[in-house]
Amino acid sequence: MLGKGEFGRIRDLLTPLSGKGAFDLKDDAGVISGIPGHEIVVTTDTIVAGVHFLGSESPEEIAAKLLRVNLSDLAAMGTKPICYTLNWSLPSSYGDEWVTSFCAGLKVQQEAFGIYLLGGDSTSTPGPACLTATLFGHVPRGQILRRVGTKLGETIFVSGTIGDGALGLLATKGMLTDLDEVLVQKLIGRYRIPEPRIRLGIALRGRASAVADISDGLLADIGHLAELKGLGAEVNMAEIPLSCEARNALAKNGELWQVIVGGGDDYELVFTGEQNLADLLLNVGVNITAIGKITAEPSVRLVGPDGNIMPVNKEGYCHS
């Protein structure tokens, strides 16, 4: 490795990101101090060049996505984030300039979400860049949110707008050429830098019966919640909240609704609860929309504006 080398990067770029219990990254491990009456929650995600980022993203954007997809997992469990570890395997083409920009991006995200670096590992690779973040958070004992718990007849809610992430991926690949460039860039931004709903997740403690973040696709993630209890769901297409950008894309190509309900990468929260639950969530920084019901029939059905079941070609992303 040319330039700073592994230890120079740790000293100059990573140590300034470290916090309590990291010991300036000089020891073999870090320490997390637990809070009495709380549980520690752990999640991890890996992103790989050519799969999860396509090469046109800046190092700062890659850093943002790496941390934010993990933060979305913590949000889905009602968790307040604390810190993270970082593992990377980088090819020699990722020099000090790239790593410096990447670490600057990490700092921006740390400041935005109140987290710090606890430790990690760095290696070189002849293959594509591979980055893994493991995040830690805490939640009061007994208040963790889970996917299991939904009940027959409960209402299905989502946060924010749906489909922007999947449409943003298409835009990144140059597949929305008939859409205004300003709208294209907004969709790309949603794909590259998702918004983890930490505040909403915390507000859902003791209120939602089941929660997931929408990473695999709206219908797929609703299916995950329902299947755990042997139930199904009906989702009203007309009620799914769409951004201005998504509405414009649909106006250009009506078949894109398949992408919207099945494409994933939204990182909004989908959850179930009593019909009036949204009335209790007015100060969480994001709109909440009721889009359907949990049913006894064990499948997820998309109901069109005419009341008929709509055929769905794409049920969601599957990790192979």
Burial status of residue 253 (CB atoms within 10 A of its CB: 0-12, 13-18, 19 or more): middle
Domain boundary among the residues 83, 108, 140 is at 140
| pLDDT given at position 1 | 44
| pLDDT given at position 317 | 43
Cβ contacts of 9 within 8 Å, gap of 6 or more: 96, 99, 122
What is the distance between the alpha carbons of residues 260 and 295, in angstroms, rounded to a whole number? 22
One domain, residues 188 and 270:
yes
- Comparing CA positions, the residue from 174, 288, 188 lying closest to residue 240 is 288
One domain, residues 175 and 132:
no
| pLDDT given at position 313 | 74
The predicted-structure confidence for 171-212, as pLDDT tens digits, reads as follows 999 999 999 999 999 999 999 999 999 999 999 999 999 999
- pTM above 0.75? yes
pLDDT tier at 318 (50, 70, 90 boundaries)? very low
146 is a domain residue: no
Domain boundary among the residues 112, 140, 168 is at 140
pLDDT tier at 2 (50, 70, 90 boundaries)? low
The predicted-structure confidence for 146-160, as pLDDT tens digits, reads as follows 999 999 999 999 999
One domain, residues 135 and 216:
no
| pLDDT given at position 6 | 83
Residue 181 belongs to a domain with what CATH number? Answer: 3.90.650.10
What is the distance between the alpha carbons of residues 147 and 226, in angstroms, rounded to a whole number? 9
- What is the residue range of 303's domain? 155-310
- Comparing CA positions, the residue from 97, 204, 210, 84 lying closest to residue 146 is 210
Dig out the tokens for 231 from the structure.
Answer: 């139930």
One domain, residues 66 and 170:
no
319 is a domain residue: no
| pLDDT given at position 4 | 80
**Structural domain count of the chain:** 2
One domain, residues 91 and 188:
no
| pLDDT given at position 314 | 53
One domain, residues 177 and 299:
yes
208 is a domain residue: yes
One domain, residues 25 and 159:
no
One domain, residues 127 and 238:
no
What is the distance between the alpha carbons of residues 283 and 300, in angstroms, rounded to a whole number? 30
Domain boundary among the residues 72, 106, 140 is at 140
What is the distance between the alpha carbons of residues 266 and 316, in angstroms, rounded to a whole number? 12
Residue 316 confidence (pLDDT) above 50:
no
One domain, residues 42 and 74:
yes
The predicted-structure confidence for 238-289, as pLDDT tens digits, reads as follows 999 999 999 999 999 999 999 999 998 999 999 999 999 999 999 999 999 9
Dig out the tokens for 168 from the structure.
Answer: 């943003």
Amino acid at 25: L
One domain, residues 165 and 301:
yes
Percent of the chain whose predicted confidence (pLDDT) is above 70:
97
Mean pLDDT of 291-306: 95
Residue 34 belongs to a domain with what CATH number? Answer: 3.30.1330.10
One domain, residues 301 and 160:
yes
317 is a domain residue: no
Are 137 and 205 in contact, with CB atoms under 8 Å apart? no
One domain, residues 100 and 214:
no
The predicted-structure confidence for 34-46, as pLDDT tens digits, reads as follows 899 999 999 999 9
Dig out the tokens for 79 from the structure.
Answer: 């968790």
Percent of the chain whose predicted confidence (pLDDT) is above 90:
89
| pLDDT given at position 315 | 53
Average pLDDT of the chain is 94
What is the distance between the alpha carbons of residues 244 and 249, in angstroms, rounded to a whole number? 9
